[in-house]
């Protein structure tokens, strides 16, 4: 599904009008399994560590208009309230840390500070298994895409400068955007991440969200030049936009 939206606070803080790829993937069948996870798991309920040797992750997609995340399972101390869809129009998604703990899932949260986690009700989301992951090496200026542990893309990138560095950590894809001016500095597509700049609390009217986007300056690849976002060749992000689902893990290493 593709919808056109004008977003006052663009998620990457750089786009005034964008096309939202609502399902986060221009192709089909981005996940291994699109079925809804059962919410009535028979006792005893056992936590599932989804970061396993299977090289897959689990994505939770909101099934309600708002998701409340809590410090612990049980719902007594809220961490954050998150609207679905998000401001750009994309569905609200989470990368799952552990699933099915007495009717709750532990997830990574797309909020400040980076690395925030919380517990959400299992009944409020659907789960899907995702075979994809991204690794970005700041030192090597390199982005690698893996499917079930197998390298599929290995491409140079540009990263943040010393004053506005690309944040280090474990994040995930939250949205897929298409700039109206595809010949501009943000290229043909832009993935929003769950992470934020550590030095910019806001940027161009936005919240300093970090993204992976194309570029009209391929000569900048391999350098430290951005405000924290990751730039990549347009042809590469065009390919990534056809298969990477929202919720895909993104590990950014020093």
- Is 25 catalytic? The answer is no
- CATH number, domain 2-25+132-253, options 1.10.357.10, 2.40.440.10, 3.10.580.10, 3.40.630.10: 2.40.440.10
Question: Among residues 25, 141, 227, 229, which one is catalytic?
Answer: 229
- Is 213 catalytic? The answer is yes
How far lies 55's CA from each of 49, 132, 142, 231, in Å? 12, 8, 20, 26
Listed by start position, the domains of the chain span: 2-25+132-253, 48-130
Is the Cβ–Cβ distance between 57 and 51 less than 8 Å?
Answer: yes
Question: Among residues 105, 141, 213, 227, which one is catalytic?
Answer: 213
* CATH class given for the domain over 48-130: mainly beta
pTM over 0.85: no
Q: What is the full per-residue pLDDT of the chain (254 aa) written as tens digits?
A: 222 222 222 334 333 334 554 334 333 345 443 223 222 222 233 344 444 446 899 999 999 999 999 999 998 999 999 999 999 999 999 999 999 999 999 999 999 999 999 999 999 999 999 999 999 999 999 999 999 999 999 999 999 999 999 999 999 999 999 999 999 999 999 999 999 999 988 777 678 999 999 999 999 999 999 999 999 999 999 999 999 999 999 999 99
Is the Cβ–Cβ distance between 115 and 169 less than 8 Å?
Answer: yes
């Amino acid at each position: 599904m593709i919808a056109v939206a004008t977003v006052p606070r663009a998620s990457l803080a750089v786009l005034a009008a964008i096309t939202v790829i609502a399902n986060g993937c221009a192709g089909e069948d981005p996940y291994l399994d699109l079925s809804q996870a059962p919410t009535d798991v028979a006792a005893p309920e056992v936590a599932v560590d989804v970061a396993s040797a299977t090289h897959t992750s689990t994505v939770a997609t909101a099934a309600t208009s708002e998701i409340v995340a809590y410090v612990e399972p049980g719902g007594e101390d809220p961490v954050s309230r998150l609207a679905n869809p998000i401001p750009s129009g994309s569905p609200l998604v989470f990368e799952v840390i552990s699933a099915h703990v007495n009717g709750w899932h532990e997830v990574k949260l797309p909020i400040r500070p980076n690395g925030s986690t919380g517990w959400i009700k299992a009944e409020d989301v659907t789960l899907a298994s995702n075979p994809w992951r991204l690794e970005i090496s700041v030192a090597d200026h390199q982005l690698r895409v893996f499917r079930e542990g197998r390298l599929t893309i290995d491409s140079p990138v540009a990263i943040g400068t010393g004053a506005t560095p690309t944040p280090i950590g474990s994040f995930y894809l939250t949205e897929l955007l298409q700039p109206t001016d595809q010949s501009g500095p943000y290229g043909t597509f832009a993935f929003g991440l769950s992470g934020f700049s550590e030095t910019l609390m806001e940027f161009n009217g936005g919240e300093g969200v970090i993204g992976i986007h194309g570029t009209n300056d391929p000569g900048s690849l391999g350098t430290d030049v951005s405000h924290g976002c990751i730039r990549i060749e347009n042809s590469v992000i065009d390919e990534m936009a056809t298969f990477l689902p929202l919720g895909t893990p993104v590990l950014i290493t020093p």
